[in-house]
Structure 1
Amino acid sequence: MDQADTRANILLVDDTPNNIRLLSAMLIDQGYEVRRVINGQMALKTAQANPPDLILLDIKMPDMNGYEVCQRLKAAIDTKDIPIIFISALDEVLDKVKAFAVGGVDYITKPFNEEEVFARVENVLTVRRLQRRLQEQSESLDREIQKRYQIEEQLQRQEADHQFLWNNPILGIFRIRINGLILEANQQFAEMLGYDSSAEAIGQITLSHHCIDSDYQKTLLAQLQATPQGFSSKTQFRKCDDSQFWGRLFLRLNQGDNAVDGILVELGSN
């Protein structure tokens, strides 16, 4: 018997003192934790208060027989998954069929045969442990799938936001290196600076190339170091045809790839 079996908690339900003492002693000797009750009502209360790993349940009891107890246990959320082995002196096919029909997983007859009792108990507990393990794995898989769904939804929202900004007809979206070299730009950004397409600007020029203030790049670097989480700044730009306009920059340092993400909003020529 492995360590998991020796820690198993078993609830014995039998109204005959000699039977319950004998069976209890046999199981305790094998390392099981055993609780004992002598009627169906006590069995229900005990199982609901602290659900055992297994219940050995006598069929023939006064007031409430084993079949009724089993049905009530299977109807309750906290106890419906507890495996139940029926115990009875009855050895008729009809009784065994009914025992399985109401939710029992096995059947032991009196007088007890120790080897048979241990074999059936260990078999049921092994199956129960495997079921729990599969349930835990299933729940873990469900959590992982849910987590992946959430990540996927978040990525989709981020992509949608990115596409909305990137295709915005008003905002000039761009990414530059720390030295100002333009790495990415949308069509609106290119048109603001006087290019026909963003391809003419990407990898070819720096942002400061279009700034009237020749020291503006140094100013931006200093501000980025001071506030890498982002800031806005207004400056004057020169287009390819030498016309000028005022624009407001929104910049944020992307430390992951040592680049700067930016948005340019054209304010007008005055």
Structure 2
Amino acid sequence: MDLDAIEVFVKVVQAGSLSNAARLLNMPKTTVSAKLAALEKRLGASLIYRTTRKLHVTEAGEKYFHHCANAVREMELGEAALQSSQGTPTGLLKVTAPVDIGHAVLPHVTRAYLAKYPDVTIELLISNQIADLVGGGVDLAIRAGMLKDSSLIAKRFIDLRANLWASPSYIKEFRKFTHPKDLVMASFVGRKGVDVLRLTDGKSEVDVPVVSRVIADDLETIKALTILGEGVGWLPDFLSADAVDAGTLVPVLPQWKWKGGGAFYFVYAGQKYASPKVQAFIQTALDVVSSGMPNFSF
């Protein structure tokens, strides 16, 4: 059994092309192609077929991949366990995060990380889609909320703080809000799935129904529409900070705070060990956020 060929097959599927897999594996494309062909010959089955534009996985290839991806991941975790006490971060680090926190945080963390560890190449996957860490060969994810997959390991990153914001023009046109009950008449730029917001002034709590004229699943879009005066927006403090500083957003009912809670977590696959490059990235992110980003909290 040629384990190298199996790893090549897994990386080709994960990378989506022979060229991308060759870069990940640091080997010539011709070698990748040859190992893949040899594996198919040994198995007596076609795993992948290629058109002029795209690579496709056959039905047999799909079945084989799901078994092999876990095996390759376990081998990588074994190497990580061995290297964790003796290795310096090297190689490719693949990190995924939601769009909003990805834009706000990851550029700062990535820059600081690369300055410390020049032998690492970082691939950032910024998307609101939940990536398959094992199947996609992803080393580390930043995710909101608690884990549903018990095979993954989570480490708390930052707490989520959020409040209600509006543009100065919206406040001027539709009056100043003095109590949460006034928000019944407000138009919200809402987020999908958020129908009620609980506010507190430290003494009492009020549930505010969210009646939205516009609903979006992307906080940057909600922020932009709120700045344009389309309505009241519920936004995390880390996302609204620059607009507040610029005077394009003002707090709505600043004495009333969002009662909800939440946090972002580092998530990685494995039983116990994170590789040195993952451990170093987590620590760098914690250091960057704690030292220079006041709109986040632990």
TM category (shorter chain) comes to under 0.3
| Structure number with larger C-alpha Rg | 1
Greater relative contact order, per chain length (Cα 8 Å cut-off, separation 6+): 2
